[in-house]
Amino acid sequence: MTYSDVLLQQVINGVSLGAMYSLLALGFTMVYGIIELINFAHFNVFMVGAFFSMWILKLTGLAGEKVILTGLPLAGVLLLALVCVMLFCGVLGVVIERTVLRPLRNVPGTAAMITTIGVSYILFNVILLSQGAAAVNFPNPMPKVQWNVTVGTVLKLREVLLWTIALLLMLGLHFFVRRTRMGKAMQATAQDQEAARMMGIEVDSVVMTTFFLGSALAGAAGLVFGLYYNFASYVIGYTAGLRAFTAAVLGGIGSIPGAMLGGVIIGLIESLGGQLIATRWTDVIIFSILVIVLVFRPTGLFGRMMIRKS
């Protein structure tokens, strides 16, 4: 591998990492955009999604790397897993919203946000106690296909899968929010809850849909994580969550294109920083850049200035 090959490979790695963070940041940033709630439970719903999709895939008979599928059976199995995990995590999100957050909807201050931290810990410990702390092998049915971009650099099938799913979900979400009736209701609720209620929009139903969608996206990210890294563990919500949270804030929290851009930036910093400096400095570099961006653009790169209603 020549040095330029190495750099190109790191760029590919960085964009893939970034796509992973963007996917994770997507649901998170959307929930904030609609109801202005930082939902810390999002990242552990992602972790639960990774375990759930592992069980679904195991149910279809896959184990580790022993069974490889191609073509239609592969697409079928992945689609099945995706739909199941999105439904399951969506329902989980709705349950969380109904039981824990609805009573706190009109309580001012940070009560709701702190409650999501509590829910996050509950999910974390439920999985820890039931699954144990060791990492578990995630079934990987995808064939080991890769293409040589140049002589030394490779692009793997699973990276293409990751980018495709991330882009499709982003476009799908964008379409849903802009073009459908429920999406317009969500935008209205985001602008002014009281006014939306007065216009006849069922705010309860809008919030429920928001949570369903956000958590479903977290679940999809869990499936993709498992297919990509081939393992699941109860801690994956933590570090991936921290980077995804940073990506969302960097891109402008509440903005969907912002989450995508923020994710890719963080991914590229991680891979190029690791290559050119050293991996142990990655966190320092990422957070320094975040601080600098926020000093000059407090709402993030794509964020909008929100007029605070007193």
Partner 1 sequence: MMIRINRRQLMMTTVGALALSTLAISTGFAPVQADEKLVTIGIELPLTGADADSATRIKNGAIMAIEEANSKGGVGGYKLAVTVLDSGTSTAGQYDPAQAATNAKKFVADPSVVAIVGPEMSGEGKAMTPILSAANLATVTPSSTNPDITDPKFAGQYKPNGKAIYFRTVTTDAFQGPNMANYMRDTLKVKSVYILDDSGAYGVGISNAFEGQAKKIGMTVMGHDQLDPKEADYTTVITKIKGLNPDAVYYGGVAQAGVKVAKQLHEIFPSVIKAGGDGMVDGGLLSAVGFPAIEGWYCTQASPHVMDDASMTDWVARYTKEFKMTPSDYAITAYDAVQVIADSIKRVSAGGQPVNRDTVRDAIQSANINTLQGPVSFDENGDIVSKVISVFEITHDPKSADDDVQHQYKYIGVAPESPTS
Contact flag: residue 257 with partner 1 (CB under 8 A): no
Residues 6+ apart with CB under 8 A from 286: 243, 246, 266, 269, 270, 273
36 φ, ψ (degrees, to nearest 5): 55, 40
Selected binder of partner 1 within 151, 278, 295, 305 (CB under 8 A): 278
Alpha-carbon gap, residue 192 to 34, rounded angstroms = 10
Smaller CB separation from partner 1, 21 or 32: 21
Burial per residue of 34-52, b for 16 or more beta-carbon CB atoms within 10 angstroms, e otherwise: bbebbbbbbbbbbbbbbbb
Asked if residues 247 and 26 have their Cβ atoms less than 8 Å apart, the reply is no
Contact flag: residue 10 with partner 1 (CB under 8 A): yes
Smaller CB separation from partner 1, 124 or 163: 124
Contact flag: residue 135 with partner 1 (CB under 8 A): yes
Asked if residues 232 and 135 have their Cβ atoms less than 8 Å apart, the reply is yes
Smaller CB separation from partner 1, 64 or 76: 64
Q: How far is the CB of 135 from partner 1 (least distance, A)?
A: 4
Contact flag: residue 64 with partner 1 (CB under 8 A): yes
**Please, is 298 exposed, middle or buried when counting C-beta atoms within 10 Å of its C-beta (0-12, 13-18, 19+)?**
exposed
Smaller CB separation from partner 1, 38 or 244: 244
Contact flag: residue 124 with partner 1 (CB under 8 A): yes
Selected binder of partner 1 within 36, 55, 60, 65 (CB under 8 A): 65
- CA dihedral (282, 288, 289, 293) in degrees, to 10, reads 160
Question: Which residues of this chain interact with partner 1, rule CB under 8 A?
Answer: 1, 3, 5-6, 9-10, 13-14, 17, 20, 64-65, 124-125, 128, 132-137, 225, 229-231, 233-236, 238-240, 270-271, 274-275, 278-280, 282
